[in-house]
Amino acid sequence: MSTNQLDFAEHERALGEVFVELASVSDHFEGYSNPHALRVAKLSDEVARLFKLARQDRSSLRMAALAHDMGEVTMERDYIKRAGSLSAEERLDLARHPLIGEREAARSGADRGAQLLVRWHQEWWNGAGYPDALQREQIPLAARILRVADAYAALTDGRPFRPALTEEEARKHLAAWAGLEFDPRVVQAFLSLESIAELRSFAPAEIKNAESGNGNHEWRKEPGIL
């Protein structure tokens, strides 16, 4: 390994430690029961590996995964943790958080690639996301990967306003929204992952043991809130 490679690895390690700490703060604010951002980073990296993303692109993706909720933390809005649908005004307000997150990621030392992934992590495959209403391949592959990993990790962890879904339920959700919210190819790759600890669901035991297919578990299906 060359000196430049060693310097890059050391810089990435040191910066990663900073963002792990910031991710912990974000997870606490968001009300996740478990380390959400770390799960998103690991799941994103596993899918990126399947797509053979370059090392620098994978590094930017991991950084963005750790930083993706920084905008919501900076905004400090109580409705993020509240049960029930958002008002039109709240939805417009929430749509600002990727832009704020991009700015905060820059202030914290993230590279430009990671900053843009934070900006675009709420873009939808069909163009219904935000802040730039990008669609299909206009959205960088790494951002499409981050969208899927973030959704799965959020759905399988408990929030103040809803319980976690089971792994089976979360997988069905990804498949159902492929072609709408998610890139179908990314969903296909994600669903091929096996034997990764970060895939586990934190659904209560009584939900995991219940008969599958009852369709009784509800969650808020709005851009930016899962």
**Domain membership flag for residue 28:** yes
Q: List the pLDDT tens digit at each of the 226 positions of the chain.
A: 555 554 545 556 656 666 676 666 665 666 666 778 889 999 999 999 999 999 999 999 999 999 998 888 888 777 776 777 788 998 898 899 999 999 999 998 899 999 999 999 999 999 999 999 999 999 999 999 999 999 999 999 887 677 899 999 999 999 999 999 999 999 999 999 998 888 988 887 644 555 444 444 444 445 555 5
Q: Which domain holds residue 43?
A: 3-208
Three-state SS at 182? strand
User: What pLDDT is attached to residue 146?
Assistant: 98
**Domain membership flag for residue 221:** no
First-to-final CA distance of the chain: 42
Give the Cα-Cα-Cα angle 179, 180, 185 (nearest 5 degrees): 30
Does the predicted model carry a pTM greater than 0.75?
A: yes
CATH number at residue 71: 1.10.3210.10
Number of compact structural domains in the chain = 1
**Domain membership flag for residue 213:** no
User: What pLDDT is attached to residue 158?
Assistant: 80
Q: Which amino acid is at 52?
A: K
